[in-house]
Amino acid sequence: MALVSQRDGHQKTRDMLFIIGSAVWLLNVVDAAVDAHLSTFDVSKKLSMTINPDAGWITTTETGYMGLSFKLNFRNTASYKR
């Protein structure tokens, strides 16, 4: 009885490792495809992003919040000075 229980436990572990390994491999394939797609993306000084901490108060629910604020800046090529 104990051997059957151990065998079943090892089979479950093997199956979970197979599923997790397949999911990690699939995420790696998706990451490589996105990286290849964005390899020609323009990351010049005309495009920038700033990340700042953000906190505030919601008056309708009387609760506070904390998070991050993302700000994208797109500069017009005509007004951009080198």
Q: What is the pLDDT of residues 15-55, one digit of tens each?
A: 999 999 999 999 999 999 999 998 887 767 677 788 999 99
Q: Report which residue type is found at 65.
A: Y
Domain boundaries, the chain: 2-74
Residue pLDDT, tens place only, 59-78: 888 899 999 999 888 776 55
Predicted TM-score of the model (pTM): 0.49
Residues 6+ apart with CB under 8 A from 73: 47, 48, 49, 50
- pLDDT for the residue 79: 55
Residue the block writes with tokens 């104990």: 2
